[in-house]
Amino acid sequence: MRLTTRAPWRRALVAWGGAAALGLSLALPAAEDAPAVGLPFEEQVQVCGACHGSDGNSQQAGTPSLAGQPELTIVNQMIYFRERLRQNEVMTPQARGLPDGEIQALAAYYHEQPVATPEGDPDPELKALGQELAAQQRCASCHQSDYRGREQMPRLAGQREDYLVAAMIAYRDRTRGGPDTTMIDVMRGVPDEDIEAMAHYLTYLHAEE
Ligand code: HEC
Ligand code: HEC
């Protein structure tokens, strides 16, 4: 399947046959493949870690932490990026051509990583408001009472605040693609102030006050 989705010249090369031609095409990843494709697992973790943090706790603005995410969440989102159902100019090229098995192994690894305590201190008032709003909207009914997520529903607890805000705005404004439209319905018409409060609450959920 992987070979048939490649550029025409590659298909021609494979069709032309011969073990040498096939070997060559497998040894040289197509130019459009993600940097991690085909690397040993430890090196893949370094590639992803340059943005997501070596232990999956992101220190980079706009880049989500992967630590503690449900495996299915990571697998799904990677496949959405790979198939260009979810578009992001930074992340989409990182998923291009990554085979299912490699995605699965990375998802299992990140799922096992402990979630780091977020930097900074929560604002108790904003956190309390966020808690109230999240309770009203029953966010926990899907994301679990401690917001660790489950299956295709991402972990929210301890996630970067800037990323949570951006993700919720993207659902509300319908700029985040993907086949799962659950969150578009949830976020419809939710004002920025409410989004900011909920993001603050979720980031600092398990932090000391
Ligand atoms: C150059 C930086 C960069 C690299 C390298 C990178 N990512 Fe990302 N990744 C991002 C950014 C930025 C986003 C957020 C995209 C968005 O806002 O839609 C993201 C999003 C994701 C998401 C979605 C998480 C969620 O909560 O929805 C997953 C899963 C992911 N990356 C996994 C990986 C894996 C696995 C690798 C290595 C193969 C990797 N990334 C490499 C920058 C990077
Ligand atoms: C009916 C179930 C359901 C409810 C209720 C729900 N969510 Fe979600 N949420 C999901 C699913 C499923 C996804 C993944 C969707 C996708 O693939 O884009 C998600 C994704 C998210 C994301 C993106 C996280 C990431 O890592 O990219 C955020 C943020 C989020 N939800 C916040 C909330 C908040 C805040 C509420 C309450 C206002 C809420 N959700 C209510 C099911 C739900």
Residue nearest to atom 26 of ligand 1 (CA): 64
Rounded CA-CA distance 36/48 in Å is: 8
| Count of CB atoms situated within 10 Å of the CB of 25 | 17
Q: What is the mean pLDDT of the chain?
A: 88
Q: Determine if ligand 1 sits within 6 Å of the CB of residue 51.
A: yes
Assess whether the C-beta atom of 2 lies below 6 angstroms from ligand 2: no
Matching residue, tokens 């192994």: 105
Cα-only R_g, the chain: 20
Q: Which residue is associated with the tokens 């401690």? A: 146
27 and 39 Cβ atoms separated by less than 8 Å = no
Contact 135 CB / ligand 1 (< 6 Å): no
Question: Nearest ligand, CA of residue 43?
Answer: 1
Q: Mean pLDDT over residues 124-132, rounded? A: 98
Q: Which two tokens stand for residue 50?
A: 């340059």
What length does the chain have? Answer: 209
> pLDDT tens digits, residue range 78-97?
999 999 999 999 999 999 99
Condensed to tens digits (0 to 9), the pLDDT of residues 152-197 reads 999 999 999 999 999 999 999 999 989 999 999 999 999 999 999 9
